[in-house]
Structure 1
């Protein structure tokens, strides 16, 4: 069993499903409203706990009801939390999901970055993996350095802010980097792949076209699964969780990418950022789609 420490955003998500996004000055009807915890680091921690690994979470929330609800939900999921409670509001994301499952995100600043590496009171050396997500680049770099110094593998999912934040130092320290196709383009154009640590694993998700893994001069790919997405929120986090969990359980890259794609597909077929992931469900999903 892997002991994983995830660090990054802890949010409260309000998901609004609509048939289509309105035109300027237009109006559409909300078909479904859903509230639950979110934030990439929190999502991965919950998913890893569901896949039978010990998951801890480092981040911050506000001193409001949303922070209390987010913490309570994490505790119910079996995640050990190391959360800084800051004055003010917890970050709330309003996610508008259209009929194709595509997501538009509206957010307040909130307290999801009200922490520093020095606020982490636990010893990184006590963990088998340090997983970093979007956060201030200096904080991410300090946490990654602590992982490197403790000889703990570091994985990193910079997310959509890769285009706006300089994560070069963290990228150079990470053993595994997760990006989608748009983020991969930013990485190549801005820093180039030379910024990655020698021997690092680069995992690129391609939406409905699956994903590929590049490591040690080899490429492993899988075309993905044919599903009709309901809400793609959290699909990338589910993908990363499945990949990390499978690798921790001894899977090779070919198996890990299949598991990861299955997790992402399952997540995209549910409303909200966190799918109900279990190994039984993942194996059944893969078997059903292989037989189709």
Structure 2
């Protein structure tokens, strides 16, 4: 039985490490090129398994070399991939991730089938026996349907909607979830910069549908090197994070989500969950690639008892 089901993107990542990000009409030197599995849902599932939380994955790949490799890599780590759909109407989504010497990242995406799966591809029984459903970037209708189905069987739900939180029509899905993960840029897009700095009620502009939906949830805000916080109604819980020399921030937010979910399922209070989550994000940012091998043993050196 999988305690957590992660739904969303399963990609193949091609990571290009460059000496510097070029200016327009400029050029950079590619110092290395590595291909490996990626995608937010896949990254979180992999991180959870490393933290001894059985996890299953719901997503879609093409019936091609990249798709087969991505699923095989996840299965070798112990992720339950029986709900990953292989489709023949398009290729596996490939992301080209460019990382500079300071660990800063930008992403180039190619069209693919990572949103070809539907809510009906997940049977009711696995969802009913799971403790938690984690949603990442996917079709808004699929996200909303999965969240509603989860609540019908008393399974808690978290959602990391990603950089397009403000323009993909996620309001219906956000109304159905218990936790929402946002980084600073995403939170400013969804709530406005003043609300992020002072609390979600700040500002005099009428709230958008997304902002109204977020007002009903618990927000988990990721501040990168400045740590993270939980806003649960009027309560605010803060953790300062851990100083690391960033090598590659790809996947750090997904590792953060893995740590937070694992800690909460273990009964941790918000402060402890934030400490574990920040440690997972820091370990990932300090190493190349989107998937650092997470484990409780590795976290012991960072996390306060």
**TM-score band, normalised by the shorter chain?**
over 0.9
Give the equivalent residue in structure 2 for 1:83: 84
Q: Does 1:143 align with 2:160?
A: no
Deviations 1:51-70 (CA, angstroms, capped at 9, x unpaired): 00110000000011000000
Q: 2 CA distance for matches of 1:192 and 1:27? A: 39
Specify the alignment match of 2:293 in structure 1. Answer: 276
CA-to-aligned-CA distance 1:22-71 (integer Å, 9 cap, x gap): 22232221112221110000000000011001100000000110000001
Find the counterpart in structure 2 of residue 245 from structure 1: 262
CA RMSD of aligned residues (A): 1.6
1:132 matched residue in structure 2:
135
Deviations 1:50-109 (A, max 9, x none): 100110000000011000000100100101111111112100000000111111100111
TM-score, normalised by the number of residues in structure 1: 0.94
For 1:52-91, list aligned pairs within 5 A. 52-81=52-81, 82-87=83-88, 88-91=90-93
SS in 2 for 1:232: coil
Superposition deviation, residue 191 in structure 1? 3.3
In the superposition, the TM-score normalised over structure 2's length comes to 0.90
Structure 1 equivalent of residue 204 of structure 2: none
Distance (Å, rounded) in 1 between the aligned partners of 2:61 and 2:211: 34
**Which residue number in structure 2 is paired with residue 16 of structure 1?**
16
Aligned to 2:159: 156
1:207 aligns with 2:209: no
How many aligned residue pairs are there? 287
Contact 2:174 2:210 in 1 (8 A): no
Runs of 5+ unmatched residues, structure 1: none
1:120 corresponds to: 122
For the residue of structure 1 that corresponds to 2:231, the secondary structure is: strand
1:192 is displaced (CA, Å) by 5.7
Q: Take 1:34 and 1:210, find their aligned partners in 2: how far apart are those partners?
A: 29
Separation of aligned partners in 1, 2:303 and 2:145: 38
1:194 maps to 212
- State which of 220, 228, 233 in structure 1 corresponds to 2:245: 228
| Contact 2:5 2:132 (C-alpha < 8 Å) held by counterparts | yes
> What SS is found at the alignment partner of 2:267?
coil
- Look up the SS of the partner of 2:301 in the other structure: helix
